[in-house]
Chain A
Amino acid sequence: MSVQKIIDEIESMAPFSQSSLQIIEMMSCPESGSSKVARVVKKDANLAANVLRLANSSFFGLKQKVDSIDHAVTIIGSKRVLEIALYSMTSAALKKPQLGYALKGGELWRHTVIGAAFAREIAIEQNLDNAEVVFTAALIKDLGKVILSRHLAEAEKEIDQLVFEKKMPFCEAEKKILGIDHAELAAIAFERWSFPENLIHVVRNHHLQKEPVIAPKETCIVFLGDVICSILGIGSGKDGLAYRFSDDILLRYFDIHNFHNLVSSLFSRISQLDQLADLL
């Protein structure tokens, strides 16, 4: 299997609609107006139906019934509507089993929903003004696994030997055996779909796989959300603990004394986030 053939499989992924691209752009642009958000969501019937279903779910616990997208934007806010739209766009692909990573159905989805929520909370705590970019990047960063999984399953022995016997970081093993890693593959897909560049940069580097790297804070936070999921074993497959771990980079941003506190505080949110992942 050539790298080009793997890259060409991007076309077989559930295509992102024009509305999806606009939603991704609006997530990266905090000043998007609520009327624009409603207009874009309304254009996509499936998306609109999902937004209404979730806005009326027990997760939001609204006393009144939300009966239109305009109403949803008014009641739960345009940011939450965009967030729901983003979940709707990614859930089908991420819910599938990813056998090459030893992930059964629903596990990658759970990892993604919880990791993205963790990353956003850390971004807010770190006073980043673009927490939604961090959230969006964390939610789409593993879409490359959906394509690579089957190829990894076919090369299981070679991958396991490199990762667990020769201690090679998982991304490097993917690249050595298949010619490309899942982060790069997702970044190439998002370039084809004209996603914003800052988002593509975070996705491409979300494992901080290139050393030395002066990673932007957004990338470090997405990485940290992922790391905390791996520590807690949330939707982690056999690759969960097998990435390069750059603690020196994290130490530039995070106080180690607060790290255990951070993990405790995020863990206490898991049951609520599990409820959300089940609803989507």
Chain B
Amino acid sequence: MQDGILFNCKSPKIQKVISMPFVQVVKANIKFSQNKNDVLTATSLGCCIGVSLFDYQVSLGGLLISILPYSKKAQRVYVEENPFMFVDLAIPYFLKAAMEKGMQPESIKIVLAGAGRLGLRQSPFDVGTMNSQSALASLEQFGLKPVYQNIGGRLNRSMQLELKTGTTKVLAAGEEIGKI
């Protein structure tokens, strides 16, 4: 599926991007791939948080997008309907699934992106900041830390994990703003 967040289609750089097979990961969901041609993509993260995993040893990548920090703040019915909505449930599930598929804790490259903030002051409505705090706490339970994070601020980000290289790119308004 085309990402379509890039507008100037005459640019050679963009022509190259258009030829890449983007695999869209929808919100409150995870996706794994070992297909070297795939680019796992999350668009318009807003305050949601995207977590990419890549293990060079097994050439396996995964992408999670979660929307709210804590499952305890929501009614059980929504938690049961889709646990991937909640960072504190989604990340442990995502990591366990990754280990079962052959990733090793010592060789996983973890990247966080998104978690944009509403406004400039601290606020009880600041879901983005809580999402990043919850993500870091969940990773820490497994003794893991991100190698790179591009989070917070007022940017509405997208992220892409290229399976061919294991590179994660972070974009805002179609422009690359981070890469590792």
Contacts and interface: CB of A to CB of B under 8 A. Distances in A.
B60 interface: no
A263 to B, nearest CB: 6
B147 interface: no
B13 interface: no
A1 interface: no
A250 B124 CA distance: 11
B contact residues, range: 35 or more
A163 B118 contact: no
Interface string B55-84: 000000000000111100111001001100
A260 B44 contact: no
Contacts of B120: 167, 245
Nearest to A163: B154
A240 B117 CA distance: 10
Main secondary structure of the interface of B (DSSP, over half): loop
A268 interface: yes
A235 B117 CA distance: 17
B172 interface: yes
A277 interface: no
Contacts of A260: 68-70, 73-74, 127
A259 B118 contact: no
Interface stretch (A25-33, A74-82, A224-232): A224-232
Interface string B23-35: 0000110000000
B103 interface: no
A2 interface: no
A52 interface: no
Interface string A238-266: 10111011110011000011011101110
A247 B5 CA distance: 30
Contact of B45 (A233, A242, A267): A233
A247 B154 CA distance: 16
A233 B25 CA distance: 14
Contacts of A232: 27, 46-48, 67
Contact of A257 (B28, B73, B123): B73
Contacts of B45: 233
7 contacts: A102-B5, A232-B48, A233-B48, A247-B124, A259-B124, A260-B127, A263-B67
Given A233-B44, A233-B45, 12 more contacts: A102-B174, A231-B118, A233-B27, A233-B156, A236-B156, A245-B119, A247-B124, A260-B70, A260-B74, A264-B75, A265-B75, A267-B28
Interface of B: 4-5, 7, 27-28, 43-48, 67-70, 73-75, 78, 81-82, 85, 114, 116-121, 123-125, 127-128, 153-156, 172-174
Q: Kindly list the 6 A-B residue pairs having the minimum CB-CB distance in the complex, ordered from nearest.
A: A233-B46, A245-B119, A233-B44, A264-B78, A102-B173, A260-B73
